Amino acid sequence: MPDSLTIAKTCAKCADDIQAEDIVVLDLRGISSIADYFVICTATSVPHLKAVNRDIRGMTEEALGEKPRSGEGEAASLWMVLDYVDVIVHMFHSEIRDHYCLEDLWSDAPHVPLDFLTPPPVKK
């Protein structure tokens, strides 16, 4: 059974593989009893949000044998959540992530380094 950090990093890697943007893993241990980690990412469209949700579910199950305990939200709501008990994955549409500001609400949580992230494209 994988530990919560492995689950969080796997979910983040799956999000990166499907080209989710602004992927952040927050370490909530010692700060909150809600979960050990939040994974937060952004999708660029409703179909992309559906694909991010699908791929995180499928690839995490394939890689680790882990299924989410539950999932909430529909792509049309522009915010979907997967609950892996000690890891909560928040998938936002780009239009509303800034509105909810989860990183600001949990600003005292350290960011987990993710060395596998695809660098953002260089703007010309």
Q: Which of 100, 93, 95 is nearest to 20 (CA)?
A: 93
pLDDT in tens, 101-124: 999 999 999 999 998 877 666 766
Q: Residue 55: what pLDDT?
A: 97
- Could you state, in order of their start, the residue ranges of all structural domains in the chain? 4-105
pLDDT in tens, 44-99: 999 999 999 999 999 999 999 999 999 999 999 999 999 999 999 999 998 899 99
Answer yes or no: is pLDDT of 4 > 90: yes
Q: Which of 26, 32, 8, 37 is nearest to 103 (CA)?
A: 26
Query: What is the topology classification, in CATH, of domain 4-105?
Result: Beta Polymerase; domain 2 (3.30.460)
pTM of the model: 0.92
Q: Residue 117: what pLDDT?
A: 77
Three-state secondary-structure class, residue 54: helix
Q: Residue 121: what pLDDT?
A: 67
Per DSSP, which regions of 15-119 are E strands? 21-27, 37-43, 70-72, 79-83, 87-93
